[in-house]
A and B are shown apart, each in its own frame.
Chain A
């Protein structure tokens, strides 16, 4: 737990929705313009506050998907059935709408371009979002240290950023990307759909002998299991960073 940063004061800023585009059937990416955005580290999140006409507000936390880019910021938001905020942001919010943003927040689950060690990213579902920010930031800074991504999805239609991930994998010093399908595999896929298992960690993840840092993000049960498997595979527990979200089922 080595890193101690000096943190600037966070404050609420009014952002404007520039664009809402569909990422999958149940997720949208929002591009926001935030005047005076101070920039962010890959892996950080923001609080988003919506205000109803009568002053009622609701706040939720979302990971930042985009690499730092001036005053613009992208969030990819998954629709939660019966959610209060996500249905509006995923399906309704119109370009030009104001929303309030607080952040960037979080100094632990972050990757900095000056890190030189190999990086293992493991995403479950929408847990890809902060990891995508890391992949994009790596590309932005032309970092050549190995990046591996293991991305567990229900099926091919659930993949966020599919085309861009393919480009990131094909680039010089591209990231190695392995998909794990839990419900529906694409035609001719060599394995049956299954949850991430220790055998897959053994074959698809960087070996512990390379002393990688791992970032694991997804639903609680997924993160709990995967972090345990990484420890079993010999990863140093202090180099496994986790972020858990969503309903726990407990």
Chain B
């Protein structure tokens, strides 16, 4: 950003975005907007599965009942959408990626999250470990609604929210970083809200 920008005459603004928890360029919403590239896919729980495939092809898979038998935890976190809304203090319940990755042998640096409906997004593996990411299945003490990614979505709240893939069905671990769906369509490879890493090349 340049230091001196011409002011737009007469624009004052409401200054309601000045909040310590808000990354730059974000404004607060109490709403929960929905953004998706296509229709909400129907996912019967008896057909749902979550798979984890390492860079050597070793695979683990959990059915819904196996997944729900794993220890889960409540998460209270802020979320930040690249379209500039932020929602503070959201309540979730999910299974930590640390739980799912326990005992997985890998030297991969990156993961590609895959969704029902074909969506993908790339995240460094380090950003999924250490209590930073979950597979979330409840929001506001209710089952996660389909339009918000239910039955389960990835939750990586320290990155812009497109990285928190809705309708997640698995992770593949990768030695090299590769762009996922929105990343191929002009969005940033990493997506740190505090650095405003919104678009390709920013």
Contact = CB atoms under 8 A, between A and B. Distances in A.
Interface stretch (B1-9, B71-79, B98-106, B123-131): B1-9
Given A4-B184, A58-B27, A244-B33, A51 B8 contact: yes
Interface string A43-79: 0000000111101111111000000000000000000
A84 interface: yes
A240 B5 CA distance: 40
Contact of A5 (B10, B16, B184): B184
A226 B190 CA distance: 32
B63 interface: no
**Interface of B, helix, strand, loop or mixed by DSSP:** loop
Interface stretch (A94-102, A128-136, A175-183): A94-102
A4 B185 CA distance: 7
Given A108-B37, A238-B38, A84 B16 contact: yes
Interface in B90-140: 117-120
Given A51-B7, A97-B9, A237 B200 contact: no
Interface stretch (A116-124, A200-208, A227-235): A227-235
A231 B106 CA distance: 39
Interface stretch (A6-14, A138-146, A148-156, A189-197): A6-14
Interface in B178-194: 181-182, 184-186
Interface of B: 1-2, 5-17, 25, 27, 31-41, 83-84, 117-120, 147, 181-182, 184-186, 199-202
10 contacts: A7-B185, A52-B8, A52-B13, A55-B5, A58-B11, A105-B199, A107-B184, A230-B39, A237-B117, A248-B31
